[in-house]
A and B are shown apart, each in its own frame.
Chain A
């Protein structure tokens, strides 16, 4: 079985002070730390677990600059057999359509049974690249999958539906599945694990290699243009309690009691 996993390097913003750059369309990235997109990490683990359970060849693919090689090395360290790096300034500024187009070109010529993507990325937060890619490949897909098993040429998945329910669905391969967090427990990647795969060669494909140009990928081709980004008004509505621990907690207890919290 051939499994392709699409991964992305994203800024980790959980504890970071963020600032919009002067161009009004990107973040100042001097202090940003990057990591593999959380959903994609579950997708890699799912692929590697299928490989361990029933045998498979796992290929991790990313689109991004040279720093994005990190997430591919990480996937290799987790057990992917091969990685493919789509790297070209021509890809810069692509929208979901452009990203899906490039992934489609990179995948379409290969043989594959299963394509896994994260359900969403924490940076652009569209959740649409997987569905677009499936439509371009003309294969069926299921979104937000929380458990996955493969038997022969059929995958059985559990996926989230509205109202906190889950649905069990069967789907014939080849298919695309977008992975929800919690599908598994992604293994720990040690520095030594990364070092072990540091010698593995990662092929690079440019836009020209994929027969793509500025009319199909990149900022010019983007069908959805970002006009500006901005920070929402902070603490809008919230009364922020300041002071030492003792006094802020006292003030909070006061307000909780008044609101009927206890």
Chain B
């Protein structure tokens, strides 16, 4: 039986959804026994809860682990992985995971597959995965030997968590931080977005704009369209990077998670970081000049065209219908 480790992240005192997604991913790796690894401060109760989902739970409960620090976590986990020698260690490909996974892989001398969307391990000691490359336009099938164990960072949202826990009834193993390992980073504070800013997470209809808007002045067209529809304006990261719109309007894994009924994506290529912020299976309409843009793979309806030409026409026709 293959031993699989899943690193559990926490959000607001709860296990992050990725914990259960990665538990599902682990079960794609053949005949497996799946252990959770939980690090935090005051997380012993959470560890007990996780035994419903995992066959065992390794918990590190220490005040120094209150704030996630992937660099510190890697040095804590390396001896555990070296000792337990799991076939694969699955880590969510999140911001903290992007620190933890590469630093852990080097420390335990194991191959690292990045940002896997699917995994399997049919034969022998080989683990295989599909991931996206070239700005999401191409997919790659990759393979690595798990002779010395493999580390796999798994894309959030790529696997569906099962609805109910398998009641695995695992044991909790209390682990202590290895001697001589201490944080190298000092946490100062967490910065929240301005509470008075617009809250797109509650919007039912979003008109979202990306790089295709080309120029700050053209945003007027988008605001006018959103007004005509009674929608809120949202955007992608590059628009925020250029400071054309506020960060609180950015949809994505590093921005706001939204769950609208309708999502109109204008000049948005559809990077997974952006799509990761769209939940609840909305109706997605996309307009983009590039017929190969990944947004068309997830949209319900698409137009290949220039948004600067089409937005005014769209606004006019919507105003006509609304009377």
CA distance A255 to B136 in the complex (A): 27
Majority-rule SS of A interface residues: mixed
Contact across chains for B188 and A240 when beta carbons are under 8 A apart: no
Question: Binary interface profile of A, 245-262, with partner B (CB < 8 Å = 1, else 0)?
Answer: 110111011011101111
In Å, the complex CA distance between A226 and B132 comes to 12
Residues of A within 8 A of B296 (CB): 234-235, 238, 240
Q: In the assembly, what is the distance between CA of A128 and CA of B110, in Å? A: 13
**Which stretch from B30-38, B40-48, B282-290 is at the chain A interface?**
B282-290
CA–CA, A141 and B103, complex, Å: 9
- Pick the interface stretch among A63-71, A129-137, A202-210: A129-137
Q: How far is the CB of B86 from chain A (nearest CB, A)?
A: 17
B123 within 8 A of A: no
Asked if B142 and A131 sit within 8 Å, CB to CB, the answer is no
A163 CB-CB contact with B under 8 Å: yes
User: Could you tell me which residues of chain A, from 5 to 60, have a CB within 8 Å of some CB in chain B?
Assistant: 11, 13-15, 17-18, 20, 27
Interface residue ranges of A216-234 to B (CB < 8 Å): 223-234
Instruction: Determine which of B184, B192, B228, B237 lies in contact with A181 in the assembled complex, contact meaning CB atoms within 8 Å.
Output: B237
With most chain B CB atoms within 10 A of its CB, the pick from A119, A125, A248, A260 is A125
Chain B interface, DSSP helix/strand/loop, else mixed: mixed
Give chain B nearest CB distance to A67 CB in angstroms: 17
Instruction: Tell me if A108 counts as interface (CB < 8 A to partner B).
Output: no
On whether the beta carbons of B285 and A255 are closer than 8 Å, the reply is: yes
Using Cβ atoms and an 8 Å threshold, which residues of chain B touch A93? none
Contact of B143 (CB < 8 Å), options: A97, A225, A249? A225
Look across to chain B and name the residue whose beta carbon is closest to the beta carbon of A182: B241
Known contacts A223-B111, A228-B140, A261-B283: A144-B313 contact under CB 8 Å: no
A248 x B305 contact (CB < 8 A): yes
Contact B95 A256 (CB under 8 A): no
Closest chain B residue to A132, Cβ basis: B102
| CA distance in complex: A156, B191 (Å) | 14
Q: How many residue pairs at the A-B interface have CB separations less than 8 Å?
A: 294
What separation, in Å, do the CA atoms of A125 and B153 have in the docked complex? 12
Cβ of A136: which chain B residues have Cβ within 8 Å of it? 106
- Residues B314 and A253 in contact, CB atoms below 8 Å apart: yes
Q: Which residues of B contact A224 (CB under 8 A)?
A: 111-113, 142-144
A205 to chain B, nearest CB (A): 22
Q: Report whether A253 and B317 are in contact in the complex, using a CB–CB cutoff of 8 Å.
A: yes
Contacts of A227 in B (CB 8 A): 128, 140-143
Q: Is the CB of A135 within 8 A of B107?
A: yes
Residue from A20, A167, A233 in contact with B191 in the complex, judged by beta carbons closer than 8 Å:
A167
Interface size on B, residues (CB 8 A): 104
Q: Are B229 and A143 in contact (CB under 8 A)?
A: no
Q: Which residue of chain B lies nearest to A171 when distances are taken between CB atoms in the complex? A: B185
Contacts of B94 in A (CB 8 A): 162
Complex interface residues of chain A between 124 and 179 (CB less than 8 A to chain B): 124-132, 134-136, 140-144, 156, 158-172, 178
A contact residues around B211 at 8 Å (CB) = 14
Q: How far is the CA of A161 from the CA of B199 in the complex (A)?
A: 19
Whether A256 contacts B185 in the complex (CB less than 8 A), given A18-B138, A159-B95, A225-B144, comes out as no
Task: Please state if A261 and B264 are interface contacts (CB–CB under 8 Å).
Answer: yes
Q: Is A236 an interface residue (CB 8 A)?
A: yes
Is B175 among interface residues, defined by CB-CB distance under 8 A?
no
Question: Are B309 and A231 in contact (CB-based, < 8 A)?
Answer: no
Complex interface residues of chain B between 179 and 232 (CB less than 8 A to chain A): 184-193, 204-205, 211, 228-231
Q: Which of A123, A249, A255, A259 contacts B261 (CB 8 A)?
A: A259
The answer to whether A262 and B111 have CB atoms under 8 Å apart is no
The answer to whether B191 touches A158 (Cβ under 8 A) is yes
As a 0/1 sequence over residues 284 to 301 of chain B, the CB contacts with chain A under 8 angstroms (1 = contact) are 011101111010111111
Closest residue of B by beta carbon distance from A38: B238
Please measure, in the bound complex, the distance between the C-alpha atom of A97 and the C-alpha atom of B110, giving whole angstroms.
Answer: 10
Docked complex Cα distance between A14 and B268 (Å): 11
Chain A residue contacts of B297, Cβ below 8 A: 232-238
Alpha-carbon distance A182/B256, docked complex (angstroms): 17
Question: Is the CB of B9 closer than 8 A to any CB of chain A?
Answer: yes
**Contacts A171-B186, A238-B286, A245-B313 given; does A229 touch B304 at CB 8 Å:** no
- The docked-state distance in angstroms from the alpha carbon of A37 to that of B264 is 29
B128: nearest chain-A partner, CB-CB: A227
- For B233, the chain A residues whose CB sits under 8 A away are none
Residues of chain A contacted by B241 (CB below 8 angstroms): 181-182
A189 within 8 Å of B (CB atoms): no
Residue B303 interfacial (CB < 8 Å) = yes
Residue numbers in B under 8 Å from A255 (CB-CB): 283, 285, 300-301
Using CB atoms and an 8 Å cutoff, list the residues of chain B in contact with chain A: 9, 11, 16, 67-71, 74, 93-96, 98-103, 105-107, 111-115, 128, 131-145, 153, 184-193, 204-205, 211, 228-231, 237-238, 240-241, 247-248, 250, 253-257, 261-262, 264, 269, 283, 285-287, 289-292, 294, 296-305, 309-310, 313-314, 317-318, 321-322
4 more A-B residue pairs beyond the given contacts A128-B153, A224-B143, A229-B133, with a C-beta to C-beta distance below 8 A: A17-B292, A134-B103, A159-B95, A250-B317
8 A-B interface contacts by CB (under 8 A): A18-B292, A135-B105, A164-B257, A171-B185, A172-B184, A227-B140, A232-B297, A240-B301
Q: 10 smallest A-B Cβ distances: which pairs?
A: A131-B102, A182-B241, A223-B111, A126-B114, A135-B106, A259-B283, A140-B184, A261-B262, A168-B188, A128-B102
